[in-house]
Structure 1
């Protein structure tokens, strides 16, 4: 039982007065307006927080968690230069130990900033999953695979199958596994077909980078006479539920394909801006009925994992591009970061809300924060004014993992020390 001063149940249901949430284990049983009637005494597990506003946990639909270790290591460079000259050489030095501690650092950063679920596509993912299990966060994980040669292709398939067997539905169901082909420019067409067939066999979705840069699209058209999205459809990728990250440089025909095939999109506005990749046509995507979530991308290209920033940017950037103040209103931006984001990464129908039957992933904001005063419009305050520093308490699957802004499940001093040690090893 959690009693708070107000709540945003979903984008359409805002309660700017006392409300209480009744939990049944890891599920929200119901919510009621007012304070809990303590007839016959208070319930055993009543958490009374009248100075808090409850919102659903935020959902980060695209990222590479352990890249927190590369934060600031390659700033102010275009994507391919950033990758080839800075990121790939550093990634060659990453170890299993580094992946574990980098993921712990990411989980710490996300939980205290109100993100309760994130997606990850990276390397040595068994060690990332171990960090997820211990930290209490919810995650949609995949082994990032490439197909540069026969060895890398076979290794990718074997590692993906093994990872699925080890971790799918583990950590009390908080971990789900997808397949993670990196992109069409790193995975040849026949390899993408193989991955789609494996996804069908394992009955799991796929996440992939698509049409992130103009160069990627031009090269794909030169090599295959198809855009990356048209190529993905041709090789059978969209025969499987797919989450496509970025989709910055897309044609109307691309969007029609994605709408028709039910492809989800992870919109990463801040990363795309910082790398100079461009601005995805979010309003057009939504007009076509495509499910879109928000993502931070990795901390090496953002440089933080703050979903409040992404939510506010999504609500303001597209207004400026369209020169239309009514494009992407606050309620839509909030939906992208919560319920629609959850749908984008294949979570339950009610996930990302505080409705009865939803997963009990709950964030409590400081109602006394200046960002929430005055309350002409509580939802607008959350989207346009609030930030990570307003997060006070966080629950994932009904378990409290942050209290008073401090994580309960992560040894932050140990993480600081380990990250400092790993940084020294990376720059030798």
Structure 2
């Protein structure tokens, strides 16, 4: 299948983008194609990459706001999650995929439960997904064995659905919910299979304090001491990493997902040390976290909040300028996941969006990049293409009404069981 996007603006110039299969085959020349999209008046951008989320938690949007993290988890989220069914996760992930498509995200890195159902939903919706079955053993050997078996089974099911877009990942939740033995087993599995590892790290001061008491060292140093950290690890949050730990992450090649909106909403108390991480050369991207702690999956909003939070935290308006924020949301996340996207270029994967700048908040257009980051929301996205397939055109997504209706019903039923 071939697609021609004609007369579209790309990096300030009006041009033609020709897609063949799932790759961008040519830029600049108008060619015959199976599908022709009129890009007149629109801007082509790379698809956004959500480096940390819990897609099916879209079902918990607005369920338990304005609480500290431990209270929120222990009194609202974990009791409800204990009653999750595979069908809940399927429809919750479909809802998340719909929201991501409508706000410009083409790739997401997920950690949750019943991830074989998340894989099914993502495959049907057409997005590129990295899916980790969450492992939470609470230092219980019997539970650990059960969780590792469940993760292995989920990854086998994900593998059966595998395409260029659907990938299995290993997902130990965090050091305070996963035993050392399980972490070592996961490290061994990653080395054997080549899978990425997705983990929460140093999200709160309590996590750091507890680790110091239990292990005599801070979280990143603890993970390094057991040989867990490596260039295949994506660590979400990292709000409380100190300078020495950032050096450890740089030395091991560990990557970081910055989730500014959820960090602020849950009042983690400290912004991720972006400048120090940048100076040490860490690969970084942006994530929304789940809709329960954000409460949306809008990566345009996340770009803006990331830039503003870092400027405020460092007391310097020059920190994380608009172009860098945009690159974190595109190329940074793509690099972390090993996806040949994040840039619109010949030979790259055809993961891109068309935005419509003919809006009040985009006028005047002194600086388009500034507008994308500081003025935009996801509703500027008119068209989305992932892996060479048109998933949204004119803001219309196939099956949208059914997804909204079914997900709302599933969410109501889920919280009634909690």
Q: TM-score, normalised by structure 2?
A: 0.95
Quick one: distance in 1 between partners of 2:160 and 2:239?
32
Quick one: distance in 2 between partners of 1:177 and 1:4?
38
Partner of 1:254: 245
Quick one: distance in 1 between partners of 2:30 and 2:310?
45
Partner of 1:10: none
- Note the aligned Cα RMSD (angstroms): 1.5
Where structure 2 has 5 or more consecutive residues not aligned to the other structure, the ranges are none
Partner of 1:12: none
Work out whether 1:19 is the aligned partner of 2:15: yes
Q: TM-score, normalised by structure 1?
A: 0.93
Quick one: distance in 1 between partners of 2:104 and 2:301?
12
Partner of 2:334: 342
SS of the equivalent of 1:72 reads: coil
Partner of 2:409: 421
Could you give the per-residue CA deviations for residues 125-146 of structure 1, whole angstroms, max 9, x where no partner exists?
1111110110001111110002
Partner of 2:319: 327
Partner of 2:6: 3
1:3 and 1:49 in contact (8 A); partners too: yes
Q: CA deviation at 1:167?
A: 2.0
Where structure 1 has 5 or more consecutive residues not aligned to the other structure, the ranges are 8-14
SS of the equivalent of 1:374 reads: coil
Worse overlay, 359-368 or 369-378: 369-378
- Distance of aligned partners of 1:193 and 1:199 in 2 relative to their CA distance in 1, 3 Å threshold: same
1:196 and 1:239 in contact (8 A); partners too: no
Quick one: distance in 1 between partners of 2:40 and 2:327?
25
Work out whether 1:212 is the aligned partner of 2:212: no
Quick one: distance in 1 between partners of 2:353 and 2:333?
16
1:60 and 1:295 in contact (8 A); partners too: yes
- Distance of aligned partners of 1:327 and 1:82 in 2 relative to their CA distance in 1, 3 Å threshold: same
Q: CA deviation at 1:170?
A: 4.2
Quick one: distance in 1 between partners of 2:83 and 2:137?
20
1:259 and 1:288 in contact (8 A); partners too: yes
2:61 and 2:295 in contact (8 A); partners too: yes
Q: CA deviation at 1:367?
A: 2.8
1:169 and 1:176 in contact (8 A); partners too: no
Map 1:27-42; keep pairs closer than 5 Å: 27-32=23-28, 36-37=29-30, 42=32
Could you give the per-residue CA deviations for residues 235-282 of structure 1, whole angstroms, max 9, x where no partner exists?
221146100000000111100000111100000000000001031111
Match 1:116 to one of 100, 106, 112: 106
